[in-house]
Chains A and B, each alone.
Chain A
Amino acid sequence: MPAPSAARASAYLDHAADTPVLPAAAEAMLAELTRTGNASALHTSGRTARRVVEEAREELAAALGARPGEVVLTGGGTESDNLAVKGLYWARRSGPGGDPRRTRVLVSAVEHHGVLDPAHWLADPATGQGAVVEELPVDGEGRLRLDALRASVERDPASVALISVMWANNEVGTLQPLREVVDLAAEHGIPVHSDAVQAVGQVPVDFAASGLAALSLTGHKLGGPTGVGALVLRRGTALVPVLHGGGQEGGVRSGSVDAASARALAVATTAAVATLGERAAALSVLRDQLEAAVLAAVPGAVVRGPASAADRLPGLLHVTVPGAEGDALLYLLDARGVECSTGSACTAGVPQPSHVLRAMGLSDAEAQGALRFSLGRTSTAADVALVAEVIGPVVERARTAGLALVSS
């Protein structure tokens, strides 16, 4: 295959990791960045900043079907997830209305580490938090098994502190049956949190209608900046803060509020939600073309995640390539201008078998050659064409390299 040259075509297909900042969001951010004033201060500059923050909060609430007072600004998805999981757990066990018997934290086995890790932290004997985590199984498409959730809850509803189930999976794009989860939890008064980081701006999200107690989102997956997000927290839901200090955000999240980021997040979220329908339609077409191209060029490739378009994110394609290793595929694709991901988290850059694929029943060997292509606002038919051009030879070469590693 031809060696990659300096001036080459490139295709950015990693929008689920980070999507380009919307120009309007960047402009709004820059305008606020150059202005002085702490939103907590009482003078004119402070009042101006506060007004920016509160208008952003109102705009976000409107875009998400929430009340302004329910929007807690945070430093991003991971912080929102930590705040929800730990904060709900602590509040449900102690404090007004708390019950120390509520030790069980129920999560789907395919949650992002932003949820899984704080849950397991609460259950780690070394932290003395006393939680018991139950990772609930998913089916072969990555969808939570409601029968397992029901069995788990009904075994002892009084001991469940919270349930956390993501809105859409970040690796394979599966939309979770949140309606059913919330209805089941409501029977027992159990709060449900959902990590909607991949969902907001991609599929319709209406917080009020969802019945959720809490919902996480982040800026950089929907055209806003990195480092800002929100936890939407239903009014009246008790939550113990993780960050203590100046008492900002209703005492739930201390720290000077970043007015510029809040403004940019609001602009981006509003735009992403407003254009969701047309973008989803366009991305679905591109995604299906990409799927057809990959399957045509790669013998043995298997598409993972829901078969039905209605059950998944519109712009995400996950495939596993038998006989190839994910990191070899990534390198070879990168060298040819295609930027994508294996979809799973890394430890010091070392690819680990995906816990999502494992939970879906794949063996470590099957999970090895995983590739996640995620499309977004700036994706074009040319991106698909570049993947179609290079994926066949890349896989062939990666398979040879995989063999080299096994046999040498």
Chain B
Amino acid sequence: MRVLAALSGGVDSAVAAARAVDAGHEVVAVHLALASASPSATPGRARGCCTVEDSRDARRAADVIGVPFYVWDLSERFGRDVVDDFVAEYAAGRTPNPCVRCNQKVKFAALADRALALGFDAVATGHYARLLDGPGTTTGGRELHRSHDLGKDQSYVLAVLPPERLATALFPLGGAADKDEVRAEAAARGLGVADKPDSTDICFVPDGDTRAWLGARVSGAGSEAGDVVDASGAVVGAHDGAAGYTVGQRRGLRLGTPAPDGKPRYVLSVSVAERRVVVGAAEDLDVDVLTGDGAVWCGPAPEVGARLGAQVRAHGREMGCTVERADGGELRVRLDEPARGVAPGQLLALYDGTRVVGSATLSSAVRAERATLGA
């Protein structure tokens, strides 16, 4: 196959590209310039996947692997579909995952479309996830699975890829025993990025201070001061912009009035329209009915009543659930046990064993009896 390998400048994508070469593919490497022209990002100074240093590391890795190297400027798409979306979601009081959006709108959309148009058969990345091909699979077709190393598994951020996108994807690291194996392999291949630290923060937030970064960009109702209230509606404090708060957050609430029971309080919900942040006790965070929209199925859509695993953040634990609704773009599941800190905007990914069934973006997360009471 002719494979376009996306090189971030990090160790994973470099080893992935090298493995694609070893597998006999004709590989061309491309580094994505994502931050340079983004109107919302700090020009040129972002870290993670966007810096000149990363571009140089990527180029050097391509040299070592022995494949042609190009830089493609997808900053406009990234700025619009990832950065602006990130700001807009927070401004609306939700908690987005920019890596998910980047995969959905940039790497496996804009990049893949361009690659296919230029004559490539697949796009390879350094994601830790596995693709299993039919007909021997449960679904009979190509399936997305968790990586062999469950500790590094990144299938969650890929759960937004429909079958036609999975058809042209390649994840050469999915079978790696662990990150140590990949680093050792990088060193053995002479790749200078072998001991480069993992990127952890959001790549377009230069210093990792997401709150300050958002504060400079969120405008409108989400940036306006308002009340912090408890579940009864009593005002217990003030905030200077509801968009800066995330469900489950405990720190930085600066509450003037202590809770009657003296226990710590957490953000239960954020209403940007009402400029209100609701706080309460830890147990009030418990939710078990998760509703999402914009559902994407990686294979066949699940049946109502199906028993699946649910995961709501990149390295979160998997929780047992039952599908209550899977209709068009809508998804509702009931968790076996209540979970805490689940916020609208997060991606709900569903698993059947190690297989990724699909995902939806959460629009609400409530406790069943409250939902019933509210109905």
A and B associate = yes
Q: Which residues of A contact B (CB under 8 A)?
A: 1, 3, 327-328, 330-332, 334-335, 346-351, 397-398, 400-401, 403-405, 407-408
CB distance from B360 to the nearest CB of A (A): 22
Contact present for B114 and A404 (CB under 8 Å): yes
Q: State A335–B27 Cα separation when bound (angstroms).
A: 11
Contact present for B113 and A404 (CB under 8 Å): yes
Can you offer 27 A-B residue contacts whose CB atoms are under 8 A? A3-B2, A3-B26, A327-B70, A327-B71, A328-B114, A328-B118, A332-B119, A346-B71, A347-B36, A348-B55, A348-B71, A349-B31, A349-B33, A349-B55, A349-B70, A349-B71, A350-B33, A350-B71, A351-B73, A397-B117, A397-B119, A404-B114, A404-B116, A405-B77, A405-B110, A405-B114, A408-B114
Q: State A1–B36 Cα separation when bound (angstroms).
A: 34
For B110, list chain A residues within 8 Å (CB): 405, 408
Most buried by B among A1, A334, A347, A350: A350
Q: Which 8 A-B pairs have the closest CB atoms?
A: A349-B71, A401-B117, A404-B117, A404-B113, A408-B113, A350-B33, A348-B55, A350-B73
For A401, list chain B residues within 8 Å (CB): 114, 117-118
Q: Which residues of B contact A (CB under 8 A)?
A: 2, 26, 28, 31, 33, 36, 52, 55-56, 59, 68, 70-73, 75, 77, 109-110, 113-114, 116-119
For A330, the closest partner residue in chain B by CB is B70
For B105, the closest partner residue in chain A by CB is A408
CB distance from B135 to the nearest CB of A (A): 29
8 further contact pairs, Cβ within 8 A, besides A397-B118, A398-B118: A3-B26, A328-B114, A328-B118, A330-B70, A348-B71, A349-B59, A349-B71, A408-B109
Contact present for A334 and B114 (CB under 8 Å): no
For B71, list chain A residues within 8 Å (CB): 327, 346, 348-350
For A349, the closest partner residue in chain B by CB is B71
Most buried by A among B56, B72, B75, B109: B72
CB distance from A185 to the nearest CB of B (A): 37
Q: State A328–B30 Cα separation when bound (angstroms).
A: 12
Q: State A351–B119 Cα separation when bound (angstroms).
A: 21
Contact present for B33 and A400 (CB under 8 Å): no
Contact present for A348 and B114 (CB under 8 Å): no
Contact present for A334 and B55 (CB under 8 Å): no
A400/B117 contact (C-beta < 8 A), A3-B2, A349-B59 known = yes
For B70, list chain A residues within 8 Å (CB): 327, 330-331, 349
Most buried by B among A3, A327, A397, A404: A404
Q: State A387–B28 Cα separation when bound (angstroms).
A: 21
For B33, the closest partner residue in chain A by CB is A350
Q: State A401–B28 Cα separation when bound (angstroms).
A: 16
CB distance from B154 to the nearest CB of A (A): 23
Q: Which of A328, A330, A331, A403 contacts B28 (CB 8 A)?
A: A331
For A349, list chain B residues within 8 Å (CB): 31, 33, 55, 59, 70-71
A405/B36 contact (C-beta < 8 A), A348-B71, A349-B71 known = no
Q: State A387–B338 Cα separation when bound (angstroms).
A: 66
Q: State A68–B269 Cα separation when bound (angstroms).
A: 80
Q: State A351–B70 Cα separation when bound (angstroms).
A: 10
For B56, list chain A residues within 8 Å (CB): 348
For B116, the closest partner residue in chain A by CB is A404
CB distance from B312 to the nearest CB of A (A): 28
CB distance from A327 to the nearest CB of B (A): 6
